[in-house]
Chains A and B, each alone.
Chain A
Amino acid sequence: MGNALIVFDPTTGPPIAQRVQAQFEGRLLRGYQEGLQQGFDVTAEVAPSLLAFLRNDLGCTCLVDLTAVDYAKYPEAQPARFGVIYILLCPETGARVKVRAFVADSAPRLATAVPLFAGADWAEREVFDFFGIVFEGHPNLKRILLPDGYRDHPLRKGYPLRGKGERADFEVYRAFTG
């Protein structure tokens, strides 16, 4: 109690963009600045090494969030259908970095981030549950919010708001409806 106000200036942190660009010369799809947040687009193959570099060398030790976007119906063309988004935080400087890893449509696969960030465990399960993206090497990749026997991935574009009738598979529902 009574500690001084902790204020960071994200611009005084380590020059993340320059270091990443020097290290990943030619392997980044794009680098950009969104407000105070730096962003890098990469392919699924480059993502694990970029995440490891950000964590081990640039101090981004905290995974704030991990999610995915299905760009199937997005009006602007993207490098691949799925984008897996990592929001990282550097606790020393307060700097934030966004990494967007593009994953192809056919059998989407990506290496897991659990060895780097323990918090990726449930977040990757959630992405697997809702988008059907498989995280290779994940210790326990199974559905997290939907029932195990669910047949589809509801946050993919094209999945209807009212569902596809999966409810009829549930034992409890059948017991009530006969």
Chain B
Amino acid sequence: MYSYDTEVSELAENVVSVNVGPSHPAMHGTLRVKLQLAGEKVLACEQEIGFLHTGFEKLGEHHSFNQFITVTDRMNYLSPLNNNIGYALAVEELLGIEVPRRGQVIRTILAEMSRIADHIFCVGLMTMDLGAFSSVLWTMIEREKLYDIFEATTGTRLTTSYTRVGGLAFDLPEGFEARTRQIMDTCEQTLGQLRDSFVNNKIFLDRTQGVGVITKDQALSFGLSGPVARASGVPLDQRAYRPYLVYPELDFSVPLHEEGDCLARYLIRIDELEQSIAMVRQALKLLEPGPINHESAKRILPSKDLVYRDMESLIHHFKVVMPGQDHGIHPPKAELYSSTEAPNGELGFFLVSDGSHSAYRMRVRSPSFYNYQLLSHILPGHMVSDLVAILGSMNVIAGELDR
């Protein structure tokens, strides 16, 4: 059993074993890294995970398909909307249905806004980890504004649970477009500030340039994805090569860096933020009136307003919610791996359906799990303080790691 009495122990002459985490001010969540140090230099490193393990995959085998949406919120708590959308798309693919046009556009806009909220806070935290403080407040202000919009749209700030299988919980609130355009403008200003303050800052460059280098081969072999892989020269972005929702209609480019160090991972997030802001502006123009939910009344939860007023909808609500072979959503017996581009990388859902109202097996392929295991391969040779820079640049989320 782990004991804090053994947190620091002398192994051999000048070699000290130190635990960083699972509860440490410099750690991003409940992560634990066991370090072997010679002075300030890291000789070896081993990560231990599982301090948060909540058994989401087991829950997926017992929750109905709509109930599991609330669980997806809690995996990556910086961008729950991306998890909601990725999961809903996987179940819809299993059912063979597609959300109407307006629903798709709304999902795209919110996925990108959620990516902005995630990336901007990640770069803010990274600068804070490296000694700057005001910058994290700038980014937090932007995130708060985005959360205000999420609250107006979904009813909550953090655990949004906004999607439903085959659609969305509610339509957009009044004034959504104008408010979003305004926030995109201020986000752009903050991005400019972040660039100006850090890209030519000697202290920041010294702490990030050439630190924690991941080569392209390593990135591929370890199955890395998202900004961490693209900072190492892997030109893969599912919004481009396996497009879903209305991404094929948007004009954007995939930012790419070759260096693979912490600075490249910082810059790529800034570049992606610019792209996302442009994508939100383009997608807003695609918004047209129309239905947001799929028409199949026997599979899709009716809107709450109708359930309260209309007998037919009440019956459908009952049929969709109640478990049992005669009720609810019953996908065909099939297996399916469906993935989307979440802010941290490829978020995949591997669903096995046995024809019942819940999944027979629910597997979540989370980007943090594959990204984080590389740490013990790149950290040796660096200083202890570099651990903070590398972790900050990888944006490891404990909820996504442990699921």
The interface of chain A, by Cβ under 8 A from chain B, is 1-8, 34-37, 61-65, 67, 69-70, 73-76, 85, 87, 89, 91, 94, 96, 98, 117-119, 121-123, 130, 143-147, 154-155, 159, 161, 170-172
- Determine which of B242, B243, B360, B402 lies in contact with A145 in the assembled complex, contact meaning CB atoms within 8 Å: B402
Bound complex: CA A133 to CA B335 (Å): 21
B53 at the interface (CB under 8 A from A): yes
Query: A65-B223, A94-B241 given as contacts; is B58 within 8 A of A87 (CB)?
Result: no
B186-231 contacts to A (CB < 8 Å): 218, 220-225
B176 at the interface (CB under 8 A from A): no
CB contacts (< 8 Å) of A89 on chain B: these are 236
The interface of chain B, by Cβ under 8 A from chain A, is 1, 49-50, 53, 55, 57-59, 62, 93, 218, 220-225, 234-237, 240-243, 252-257, 267, 271, 333, 335-337, 339, 346, 348, 350, 352, 354-355, 360-361, 363, 365, 369-370, 373, 377, 402
CB–CB B355/A75 < 8 A: yes
CB contacts (< 8 Å) of A96 on chain B: these are 337
- Determine which of A7, A118, A161 lies in contact with B241 in the assembled complex, contact meaning CB atoms within 8 Å: A7
Known interface pairs A4-B253, A74-B352, A96-B337; 15 further A-B residue pairs with C-beta atoms within 8 A, sorted by A's residue number: A5-B240, A5-B252, A6-B236, A6-B241, A62-B221, A63-B223, A67-B350, A91-B220, A94-B236, A117-B221, A119-B224, A123-B369, A159-B58, A161-B59, A172-B1
Bound complex: CA A67 to CA B337 (Å): 11
CB–CB A69/B222 < 8 A: no
CB contacts (< 8 Å) of B93 on chain A: these are 35
The smallest C-beta distance from A163 to any residue of chain B, in angstroms, reads 9
CB–CB A34/B336 < 8 A: yes
CB–CB B240/A69 < 8 A: no
CB–CB B363/A67 < 8 A: yes
A-B contact pairs, 25 of them (CB 8 A): A2-B253, A3-B253, A4-B253, A5-B240, A6-B240, A61-B220, A62-B221, A63-B221, A64-B339, A64-B346, A65-B337, A69-B361, A73-B360, A85-B363, A91-B220, A91-B236, A117-B221, A118-B222, A119-B223, A119-B373, A122-B370, A145-B402, A154-B55, A161-B58, A171-B1
The smallest C-beta distance from A69 to any residue of chain B, in angstroms, reads 5
The smallest C-beta distance from A91 to any residue of chain B, in angstroms, reads 6
CB–CB A119/B235 < 8 A: no
Query: A3-B253, A161-B62 given as contacts; is B220 within 8 A of A62 (CB)?
Result: yes
Bound complex: CA A20 to CA B50 (Å): 38
CB contacts (< 8 Å) of B241 on chain A: these are 6-8, 94
Bound complex: CA A74 to CA B48 (Å): 34
The smallest C-beta distance from B14 to any residue of chain A, in angstroms, reads 26
Query: A1-B271, A65-B337 given as contacts; is B58 within 8 A of A118 (CB)?
Result: no
CB–CB B242/A3 < 8 A: no
CB contacts (< 8 Å) of A73 on chain B: these are 354, 360
Bound complex: CA A94 to CA B402 (Å): 28
The CB with the most chain A CB atoms within 10 A, among B62, B267, B337, is that of B337
- Determine which of A1, A64, A144, A155 lies in contact with B255 in the assembled complex, contact meaning CB atoms within 8 Å: A1
Number of A-B residue pairs at CB separation under 8 A: 126
The smallest C-beta distance from A50 to any residue of chain B, in angstroms, reads 18
Bound complex: CA A61 to CA B223 (Å): 9
Query: A7-B241, A94-B242, A161-B58 given as contacts; is B222 within 8 A of A119 (CB)?
Result: yes
CB contacts (< 8 Å) of B53 on chain A: these are 145-146
The CB with the most chain B CB atoms within 10 A, among A61, A91, A98, is that of A91
CB contacts (< 8 Å) of A35 on chain B: these are 93, 336
Bound complex: CA A144 to CA B47 (Å): 10
CB–CB B254/A87 < 8 A: no
Bound complex: CA A120 to CA B201 (Å): 38
For A67, the closest partner residue in chain B by CB is B363
CB–CB A145/B50 < 8 A: yes
CB–CB A119/B370 < 8 A: yes
CB contacts (< 8 Å) of A6 on chain B: these are 235-237, 240-241, 254
Bound complex: CA A127 to CA B187 (Å): 42
Bound complex: CA A8 to CA B236 (Å): 10
Query: A64-B348, A75-B355, A94-B241 given as contacts; is B333 within 8 A of A5 (CB)?
Result: no
- Determine which of A65, A76, A172 lies in contact with B348 in the assembled complex, contact meaning CB atoms within 8 Å: A65
CB–CB B57/A155 < 8 A: yes
Bound complex: CA A147 to CA B48 (Å): 10
Bound complex: CA A61 to CA B402 (Å): 26
CB–CB A75/B254 < 8 A: no
- Determine which of B50, B234, B352, B369 lies in contact with A69 in the assembled complex, contact meaning CB atoms within 8 Å: B352
Query: A6-B241, A87-B348, A122-B369 given as contacts; is B337 within 8 A of A98 (CB)?
Result: yes
- Determine which of B50, B240, B354, B365 lies in contact with A65 in the assembled complex, contact meaning CB atoms within 8 Å: B365
